[in-house]
Amino acid sequence: MRARYAITLTIGILSCIVVAFVMDETRTVSVLSFSLRYAVPLILAAMVGIICERSGIINIGIEGQMLMSAFAGFFGAAITGNLILGTMLGVGTGMIMGAFLATGAVAWKMDQIIAGTIINILATGLTSFFYSQGYVLPAITPTLRIPGLADIPLIGPVLFDNGLFTYAAILTALVLWVLLFKTIWGLRTRAVGEMPGSADTSGVNVQRMRFINVTLAGGLAGLAGAYLSIEAASNFDRGMTAGRGFTALAIMIFGAWNPIGALGAALFFGLANGLASQLQADEVIDIPQQFISMLPYVLTIVLLAIVSGRVKPPAAVGKPYEKE
Amino acid sequence: MPSYGSQTPILEARGITKRFPGVIANQDVSLSISPGQIVGLLGENGAGKSTLVKMIYGLYEPDEGEIYIKGSPVKLSGPRDAIRRGIGMVHQHFQLVPVFTVAENIILGDEPHRSIFINMKKATQEVARLSEQFGLEVDVNAKVEDLPVGAKQRVEILKALYRHADLLIMDEPTAVLTPQETDELLQVMRGFADNGVAVIFITHKLREVLAVADTIEVLRGGKVVGTTTPGETDQAGLAQMMVGRSVLLTVDKAPATPGDVVLDVQGLSAATDLGLPAVRDVNLQVRAGEIVGIAGVEGNGQRELVEALTGLRHCTADRMTVAGKNTLGQSPHAIHAMGVGHVPEDREKDGLVGPYSIADNMVLNRFDEPPFSSKGVRSRSAVNTLATDLVQEYDVRTPSISTTAESLSGGNKQKVVIARELSANPELLIASQPTRGVDVGSIEFIHSRIVDARDRGAAVLLVSAELDEVLGLADRVVVMYDGRLVAEMASADVDRSSIGRLMAGGDIQQ
Amino acid sequence: MSVTDPAQTDLGFSDPNPARAGRWSRAQAIAVPLVSVLLAFAIGGVLIWLQGVNPLYAYWVLFQNALGSSEGLLRVMEKSTPLILTGLAVTVGLRTGLFNIGAQGQLLVGAIGAAWAGYNFQLPALVHIPFAIVFGMLCGAAWASIAGALRAYRSVSEVITTIMLNAVAIALVDYLASRPLKEEGQPITRTPLIAETAALPDIGIVPVGFLIALMVAIFFGWFLTRTTQGFRFNTVGMNPSAANYAGIGVRKTIFLAMAVSGALAGMGGAVETLGITGRFEPTFNAGLGFDGITIALLARANPIATIPAALLVGTLRSGAATLQFETGIEPEVVDVILALTLLFVAAPIVSRLLFRKRAQKQTSVSSGWGGA
């Protein structure tokens, strides 16, 4: 039932894209590329949310994880002069914060929303406190242009000529889908998020699974943050995550906690933003700048209002697991 | 009957004692089970059956005594350890993941695989094989949440068998089954014996244990008060051992003198949370001074019916009145104000606010009425006075009325709820599973209070999954099956096997 | 797991040390926040030391500046006023089981609303001031009600929506102050000055806004414990099913609680405009929303306790500028210290350390995460 809506919507959008392409090739490609790049951190962050919530843990600290990782990634790369090292630092930072959330939620059985909020506040404070001007990245992120495929009209330049992070994001979504629904890890993770008691008596170590999943998911948040500062902006600005971590949660819900669904939702979101920006730049519509900047947030709220109540989260999400 | 003396017992417990703060749950319990033997573990609520079994399953550790599995002494570190040693548990409240399929549930934790990928084909084959071997029919690819209760239980059993259980602990398995399904289950249990799987069958239903057990152990007060076989005893004998009195838990009551109709319901229909029909076109009348008991296996719409009557669930009806006043479409608050008391099925979730004091819980549904408040401001003294009086009158064991409700025992929590509802002098009392999880002493107390209310002129609607409770308390008995009330009779006229058939959807006639 | 009760002889209660509702928690309510604050200061001190400054000196500057003179005290009270109110906003939400992270947005909306009410009308002061404050409160309430309605009637978690609404509010008030409500003749983005009659009077020793905030805090302390509506809020927060059974309209209560919460935050903005700034400028009051959360959790959702908590935060914030001036330490160090305080208060580390097994059940808001 829901799948039918999604398919109809996707076909509708794809048709519009083809029409637009025929009408104006360069602009369409540019909008689509912009949209994809916009969606990259959202895709990664939504995967973080999916892994955590499928394991039963609410993670609203993704925003803070991304911010800290953007910081660590950028300054790491600038100071060491090595992009890869910087990225790894970003990923590592994300994992450390993930471990903190995991400790709070699993070991201390804290309220998970408060734990996530603490991460966000700490990230804001620490990144502002240690921020310094005058650092530069040693290089630009290499792009990878896949020969042959990149020559296909429309799809080619959009999908096959991108920075490495972009490929990583899409691959992550696909790989996660396979892992979640076809492997032992996936079955046990889902069990832990739906009915931990059952998983426990079946021999699954609930606490350990949750802890490891949340920590590793933090790595993905780290990747998202590193993307923002290293590939997207080539800079670090205070508060540069601009609410993406929360939008990612809405995308996770809209995608029904399914990696492919979230990928689609994130792309949709990116498209909406890309379109609005392009229309604004072309002065097709004259709306005050502030309303354009509001768009992602309003869209998030609208998405949530439509979808809530129609999709079910993992049944045990948010409840600390107590062994009998 | 095979002789057991020659084989090594699958399980042996010697001198098991377990203490909790303030109570000795098991004292010096010894038990021996051979392969293929069915042991019935009998006892009232609170006799220590579940504690004993939890120790066998590794959930608790005994304070004294030893447990031997297949001849070797063990110290179980948890259920996983017990499972590895061949002990399986079929829980009363199923431990199945609703959104998973039958196969996924069964293989969870021990999945057939090729590297990291699950081999679903092999899984389904294995489950089908077990299903056939033990006569447990299931649709392997169905989602558990779509299955009826009996099928879910079969999945639970298969889960244990998949892990090569030599001993199956079945905790009150027939509580959720109709009499017909129960008979089927008892057949299956005998099949286990043929396959060499032993069973510990926990129940408080005498008929069943006499029908299927090889040995019966009766627990009372944490001790084994009797070991016997079906050949050596009967229901009365078992009851005597269980309760220590010569008579079953019957209620002392005078015949009813019903007055005017208080609850008048015609054509009531209601749906479950998911929109499926739960209550279908029900007609029901309860008069002042009488107790009407609704018998039936849980899950036939009783919960939704009670919620509809108390305003907690949307419903449609041709007529729904209490003492002439319309209750259809009214809020729970309004219905309560019309003189309807409700003892809810789930006291922790609906009936009490755990962190609140007993005093606050005593006025939970009256907090904004005089004298407990006036003009929006609450009156502490009025609340405390009421609470003090009720705690004394209903013998609620607590150091003070400021104690939080969640620190009380089950029986005392229920007494608080009963006290609250009865003290409002309702014209209609709706009591749903009023003695679930309550110790024996409190059960008698609660039953007598319900009868008191009836004798003072209240109309009482009792809903209970315990057939004995309904038969003991009610003046008139109604059977609910699949959302409909299928029969009505005076309790004195009830014949157990007919009721059983009705509860399963059959007719009174053959 | 079978449901049968293991108790065989009924001693009456399953726990031999049954908790008395409310009374036990008093010791924890004071000790835990106190120790958390000290720990946070200790760690903050390390960060300061890493920057080459003596932490004790830094803290002395911080507090001396704030508390060592009457202007300093005045500034602390001024800074603390909106903090008390946003702290109360989050507190009222927490009691009802809601996590209102949107206090910042609601405050901004209330501030610009009060500014408009202040400059757009000419009324006698006795009427103008209450009118402007109430208008600010209504704006805040309306803003919060968007999230409140979504939560109450569509089960959308208020956590995400309030954060989103914060961002929308920032953009919205920026737009309003730069176009429709903009002061003419000036290139600066801000609203005109409010009328004299709308400004809060100056009584010298204590800012009027601060007095208002104190009175509101005391009122809510009474409201939540002694009134029927307060009982409704608390019950919905503790156990919505039982609240439903008790006849309390759960959805209505949730909506109302969010509206009240927003009104309080809006009042914070209104009082700031009418009492301090005299107009609305979009750069003001960054980050007050998060402080409200820290204050509410420090105060353990007790309205009266938000006063000392807000004063602490107000002192820190008020002294931060001088700290930077005197020692070069970034004012964001206060953010870090407060974040650490929140960490220690909310995570059971401190409570376990001090009280071992009797650590009280922590505040929990995750129950509202019904899929959104």
Each residue's pLDDT tens digit, A1-46: 566 777 787 888 888 888 877 777 788 888 888 899 999 999 999 9
What proportion of chain A, given as a percentage, has pLDDT over 70?
98
d(CA A53, CA B104): 20
- Taking residues B214-239, report their average pLDDT: 84
- Taking residues B247-251, report their average pLDDT: 51
Q: Which of C14, C24, C25 is the best substitution to test chain B (most B C-beta atoms within 10 A)?
A: C14
- Contacts across the A-C interface (CB distance below 8 Å): 144
Higher pLDDT: B487 or C144? It is: C144
Rg, chain B, Cα only: 24
Cβ-nearest to C372 among A108, A247, A304: A304
Cβ-nearest to A121 among C330, C342, C365: C342
Q: What average pLDDT does the structure give for chain A?
A: 88
Cβ-nearest to B403 among C8, C18, C249: C18
Q: Identify all chain B residues contacting A197, using CB atoms and an 8 Å cutoff.
A: 95
Let me know: does A197 contact B95? Beta carbons within 8 Å: yes
Domain chopping of chain B, boundaries:
11-243, 261-358+421-503
Smallest CA–CA distance from A195 into chain B, residue = B97
Contact C247 B437 (CB under 8 A): no
Q: Identify all chain A residues contacting C155, using CB atoms and an 8 Å cutoff.
A: 308-309
Nearest-CA distance A160 → chain C (Å): 33
Contact A201 B79 (CB under 8 A): yes
pLDDT of res. C309: 93
- Kindly report which listed range (B176-185, C97-106, C242-251) carries the lowest average pLDDT score: B176-185
Q: Name the pLDDT band for C348 (thresholds 50, 70, 90).
A: confident
pLDDT of res. B322: 93
Contact B404 C18 (CB under 8 A): yes
φ, ψ (nearest 5 deg) of residue B255: -65, 155
- Taking residues C112-135, report their average pLDDT: 90
Contact A301 C164 (CB under 8 A): yes
Beta strands B261-271; B277-287: pairing state: antiparallel
pTM above 0.80, yes or no: yes
- Contacts across the B-C interface (CB distance below 8 Å): 180
For the stretch A137-153, pLDDT in tens is: 877 777 777 777 777 77
Q: Identify all chain C residues contacting A62, using CB atoms and an 8 Å cutoff.
A: none
Q: Identify all chain A residues contacting C159, using CB atoms and an 8 Å cutoff.
A: 60, 113
Handedness of CA B182, B187, B192, B193 (dihedral sign): positive
Higher pLDDT: C285 or A145? It is: A145
Let me know: does C160 contact A249? Beta carbons within 8 Å: yes
Contact C371 A312 (CB under 8 A): yes
Beta strands B377-378; B373-374: pairing state: antiparallel
Handedness of CA B258, B261, B265, B266 (dihedral sign): positive
C-alpha A237 chain-centroid distance:
19
Q: Identify all chain B residues contacting C364, using CB atoms and an 8 Å cutoff.
A: none
Neighbouring C-beta atoms of residue C107, cutoff 10 Å:
35
- Kindly report which listed range (A151-155, B32-36, B228-232) carries the lowest average pLDDT score: A151-155
Smallest CA–CA distance from C369 into chain A, residue = A318
Nearest-CA distance C220 → chain B (Å): 13
Contact B397 C10 (CB under 8 A): yes
Let me know: does B261 contact B285? Beta carbons within 8 Å: yes
Contact A309 C348 (CB under 8 A): no
Q: Identify all chain A residues contacting C40, using CB atoms and an 8 Å cutoff.
A: none
Contact B111 A184 (CB under 8 A): yes
pLDDT of res. B9: 87
Cβ-nearest to B407 among C2, C19, C249: C19
Smallest CA–CA distance from C292 into chain A, residue = A121
> Does C21 contact chain B (CB < 8 Å)?
yes
Q: Contacts from B67-74 at CB under 8 Å and sequence distance 24+?
A: B67/B11, B67/B12, B67/B13, B67/B14, B67/B16, B68/B9, B68/B11, B68/B12, B68/B13, B68/B14, B69/B10, B69/B11, B70/B8, B70/B9, B70/B10, B70/B166, B71/B8, B71/B9
Cβ-nearest to A122 among C160, C297, C339: C339
Q: Identify all chain A residues contacting B97, using CB atoms and an 8 Å cutoff.
A: 190-191, 194-195, 198-199
Q: Name the pLDDT band for B2 (thresholds 50, 70, 90).
A: very low
d(CA B450, CA B469): 12
From residue A304, alpha-carbon distances to A24, A59, A60, A308, C169 in Å are 33, 17, 15, 6, 18
- Taking residues B78-107, report their average pLDDT: 90
Q: Identify all chain B residues contacting A194, using CB atoms and an 8 Å cutoff.
A: 97-100
Cβ-nearest to C5 among B46, B331, B367: B46
- Tell me the CATH architecture of domain C29-63+74-357: Orthogonal Bundle (1.10)
Cβ-nearest to B23 among C7, C19, C231: C7
Contact C346 A305 (CB under 8 A): no
Contact A126 C336 (CB under 8 A): yes
Smallest CA–CA distance from C236 into chain B, residue = B353
Contact B21 C15 (CB under 8 A): yes
Report the b/e string of A190-229 with b at 16+ CB within 10 A: bbbbbbbbbbbbbbbebbebbbbbbbbbbbbbbbbbbbbb
Q: Is the pLDDT of residue C202 over 90?
A: no
- How many domains are there within chain A? 1
Q: What average pLDDT does the structure give for chain B?
A: 86
What is the residue range of A81's domain? 27-307
Smallest CA–CA distance from B87 into chain A, residue = A201
- Kindly report which listed range (B169-183, B386-400, C100-114) carries the lowest average pLDDT score: B169-183
pLDDT of res. B367: 92
For the stretch B147-196, pLDDT in tens is: 888 889 999 999 999 999 999 999 888 877 776 788 889 889 988 888 88
Q: Which residue has the tokens 């003090």?
A: B388
d(CA C344, CA A105): 14
Does a structural domain hold residue A11? no
Q: Is the pLDDT of residue B251 over 90?
A: no
Q: What is the CATH number of the domain that holds A291?
A: 1.10.3470
Q: E strands, B34-101, where?
A: 38-42, 64-69, 72-74, 87-90
pLDDT of res. C5: 29
Contact A202 B108 (CB under 8 A): yes
> Does C357 contact chain B (CB < 8 Å)?
no
Contact C13 B412 (CB under 8 A): yes
Nearest-CA distance A143 → chain C (Å): 33
Cβ-nearest to A297 among C164, C342, C343: C164
Q: Name the pLDDT band for C1 (thresholds 50, 70, 90).
A: very low
Q: Identify all chain A residues contacting B95, using CB atoms and an 8 Å cutoff.
A: 195, 197-198, 201
d(CA C293, CA C335): 13
pLDDT of res. C372: 40
- Chains touching chain C through at least 3 C-beta pairs below 8 angstroms are A, B
Q: Is the pLDDT of residue C19 over 70?
A: no
For the stretch B407-426, pLDDT in tens is: 888 888 999 999 999 999 99
Q: Which of A202, A317, A322 is the best substitution to test chain B (most B C-beta atoms within 10 A)?
A: A202
> Does B61 contact chain A (CB < 8 Å)?
no
Q: What average pLDDT does the structure give for chain C?
A: 83
Q: Identify all chain C residues contacting A108, using CB atoms and an 8 Å cutoff.
A: 347-349
Let me know: does A151 contact A136? Beta carbons within 8 Å: no
DSSP C56-94: HHHHHHHHHHHHSSHHHHHHHHHHHHHHHHHHHHHHHHH
Q: Name the pLDDT band for B3 (thresholds 50, 70, 90).
A: very low
Q: Is the pLDDT of residue B292 over 50?
A: yes
Q: Identify all chain A residues contacting B168, using CB atoms and an 8 Å cutoff.
A: none
- Tell me the CATH architecture of domain B11-243: 3-Layer(aba) Sandwich (3.40)
Helix (H, G, I), strand (E, B) or coil at A148: coil
Q: Which of B97, B122, B163 is the best substitution to test chain A (most A C-beta atoms within 10 A)?
A: B97
Does a structural domain hold residue A223? yes
pLDDT of res. B1: 44
Does a structural domain hold residue A142? yes
For the stretch B402-411, pLDDT in tens is: 888 988 888 8
- Taking residues A71-81, report their average pLDDT: 91
Let me know: does B267 contact B470? Beta carbons within 8 Å: no
Cβ-nearest to B46 among C7, C11, C245: C7
Burial (Cβ within 10 Å: 0-12, 13-18, ≥19) of residue C288: buried
Smallest CA–CA distance from B396 into chain C, residue = C12
CA C155, C161, C167: angle at the middle one, nearest 5? 170
Higher pLDDT: C6 or B278? It is: B278
Contact B109 A190 (CB under 8 A): no
For the stretch C25-43, pLDDT in tens is: 667 677 888 888 899 999 9
Q: Is the pLDDT of residue C9 over 50?
A: no
d(CA B313, CA B310): 8
* Amino acid type, B350: D
pLDDT of res. C362: 54
d(CA A109, CA A321): 8
Does a structural domain hold residue A18? no
Q: Name the pLDDT band for A56 (thresholds 50, 70, 90).
A: very high
- Taking residues B478-505, report their average pLDDT: 80
d(CA C194, CA B101): 66
Q: Name the pLDDT band for C20 (thresholds 50, 70, 90).
A: low
For the stretch C286-327, pLDDT in tens is: 555 678 888 998 888 899 999 999 999 999 888 887 888 888
Q: Which residue has the tokens 């005089």?
A: B370
d(CA A38, CA A274): 8
Smallest CA–CA distance from C148 into chain A, residue = A305
Neighbouring C-beta atoms of residue B456, cutoff 10 Å:
11
Helix (H, G, I), strand (E, B) or coil at B101: strand
C-alpha B269 chain-centroid distance:
25
Tokens matching residue B432: 């749903």
Higher pLDDT: B55 or B237? It is: B55
For the stretch A199-258, pLDDT in tens is: 988 889 999 999 999 999 999 999 999 999 988 888 888 888 888 999 999 899 888 999
Does a structural domain hold residue A196? yes
ipTM given for this complex: 0.85
CATH class belonging to B261-358+421-503:
alpha beta
Contact C8 B357 (CB under 8 A): no
Let me know: does B124 contact B107? Beta carbons within 8 Å: no
Does a structural domain hold residue A284? yes
Q: Is the pLDDT of residue C3 over 70?
A: no
pLDDT of res. B5: 52
Q: Identify all chain C residues contacting A242, using CB atoms and an 8 Å cutoff.
A: 167
